[in-house]
C-alpha cells in the first residue's frame, strides 16, 4: 500500500524532491492558487507551519491552475507572490494538475486514501492531513480555515 514517501514532486525552483525526505513527519498537503477567494488561507497555513514545524509538522503547497485558471503564473511568480504577500516559508512545488488523466501521481493517490476513492478535488485549498506513517488521516474541504485544524494536527503529532 503506497504512502506519501513513495512519491516525488518538482519544487518551485525545478529540483526533483523525493517525498521520502518527509518520512516520519505530519504533513498537510494543499493545492493552492494565488488568484482565488481562498488565497488568504496562505497566512493561516504559514502560521500552522511556524507553530508546529519544530514538532515535526510540514505544509506542502502544490499550485494548481485547474480551477478557473486562478494560478496562471510561472514558478518564479508564484514563489515571489507567496513570500511577498504571506511570508510563505513552507515547501512549495511546481504547478500540477490534481484531477483528470494528467493529475500528478501524488494527487491520484491522495484521492484514493481514507475512503475518498475517486472523489475529485473540488477546488483550490483542498487539504489532506497525512500522519507520521505516511497515510491520509483526514481530508478537508477548501473553505475549512487552516486555523481550525490545530486539534487534528496536535493529535497527529502526539500519536
Instruction: Give the DSSP H or E segment for 45.
Output: helix 41-52
144 neighbors 42 (Cβ within 8 angstroms): no
Catalytic residue among 33, 36, 58, 88: 36
Is-catalytic flag, 36? yes
The set of residues, in sequence order, having a beta carbon less than 8 Å from that of 128 and lying 6+ positions away, is: 28, 29, 30, 110, 113, 136, 138, 139, 140
- Which H or E run contains 16? strand 16-18
Crossing angle for the helix pair 75-86 and 41-52, nearest 10 degrees?
80
CA atoms within 13 A on the CB side of 49: 21
Catalytic residues: 36
Amino acid at each position: 500500500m503506497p504512502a506519501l514517501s513513495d512519491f516525488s514532486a518538482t519544487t518551485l525552483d525545478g529540483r526533483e524532491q523525493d517525498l521520502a525526505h518527509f518520512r516520519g513527519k505530519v504533513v498537510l498537503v494543499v493545492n493552492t492558487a494565488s488568484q482565488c477567494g481562498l488565497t488568504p488561507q496562505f497566512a493561516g497555513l504559514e502560521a500552522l507551519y511556524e507553530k508546529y514545524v519544530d514538532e515535526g509538522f510540514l505544509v506542502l503547497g502544490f499550485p494548481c491552475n485547474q480551477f478557473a485558471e486562478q494560478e496562471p503564473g510561472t514558478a518564479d511568480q508564484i514563489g515571489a507572490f507567496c513570500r511577498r504577500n504571506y511570508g510563505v516559508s513552507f515547501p512549495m512545488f511546481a504547478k500540477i494538475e490534481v484531477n483528470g488523466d494528467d493529475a500528478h501521481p501524488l494527487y491520484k493517490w491522495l484521492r484514493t486514501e481514507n475512503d475518498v476513492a475517486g472523489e475529485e478535488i473540488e477546488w483550490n485549498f483542498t487539504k489532506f492531513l497525512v500522519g507520521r506513517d505516511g497515510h491520509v488521516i483526514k481530508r478537508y474541504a477548501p473553505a475549512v480555515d487552516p486555523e481550525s485544524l490545530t486539534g487534528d494536527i496536535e493529535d497527529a503529532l502526539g500519536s
